[in-house]
Amino acid sequence: MPEASTLALFVAAALVLLIVPGPSVLYIVTRSIEGGRTAGFVSVLGVQTGAMVHIAFATLGLSAILASSAVAFSIVKWLGAAYLVWLGLRRIFGPDEAENEVAVEPARLSRVFSQGVIVNTLNPKTALFFLAFLPQFVDPARGAAWIQILLLGAIFVTLALCSDGLYALLSGTAGGWLRRRMKGASFRRGQRLASGGILIALGAVAAISGKD
């Protein structure tokens, strides 16, 4: 199992990343405004179900890499750190993404859930993120890698359920005000700077502290 300090660092990094809204959060916010808090909470469950699919694949894939070669796993960690830095730079200096403008129409709760699953499951950026993020906190010397990856993934999803649920609650209550706020140019600029800086810092720390 990961050390307590590693788990604390993971929780802190995950919380900061989750607080800064991305496309999935904007989907949840839009659903909450359009359909109320119930629709928002259902969309949260759908999105995090999709996240669990990615975590399952990451657990299988990363465990297979480690089983085949510890050196290969170290290479994956270094590539993951580099990817996080690149993602942060692209986030800061890139233009606003069109996917941030989420438009949805009224739908049944079952459809809201299924769309949330699809939004996250079919997003290749989510898969790449987990493949880059989770290995930075895995220490093969501390036990089975797949157990560590699965544990970290479960913690991430639990935190995401709480943070996304809060977004659903607030946006379902605040409605139009929050939606206008989320679409403001200054808000999007601050969002890019915050999330980009976090990703760069995480990748840099992983690269500096990497010893294997």
Give the model confidence (pLDDT) of 38-77 as tens digits: 888 999 999 999 999 889 888 888 767 766 666 776 776 7
Give the model confidence (pLDDT) of 151-202 as tens digits: 999 999 999 999 999 989 888 777 656 555 555 555 566 656 665 675 576 5
Q: Is residue 51 within 8 Å of 160, Cβ to Cβ?
A: yes
Radius of gyration of the chain (CA): 17
- For the question of whether the overall pTM of this predicted structure is more than 0.85, the answer is no
User: In 3D, which of 164, 209, 201, 189 has the Cα closest to residue 87?
Assistant: 201
Give the model confidence (pLDDT) of 100-151 as tens digits: 444 445 558 888 898 888 878 877 677 778 888 888 888 877 878 888 889 9
Residue spans of the domains in the chain: they are: 4-207
Residue 137, token pair as written in the block: 């906190």
Distance in angstroms (rounded) separating the CA atoms of residues 143 and 155: 18
Per-residue DSSP letters for 131-144? HHHGGGG--GGGS-
Residue 59, token pair as written in the block: 């657990």
Q: Is residue 39 within 8 Å of 181, Cβ to Cβ?
A: no
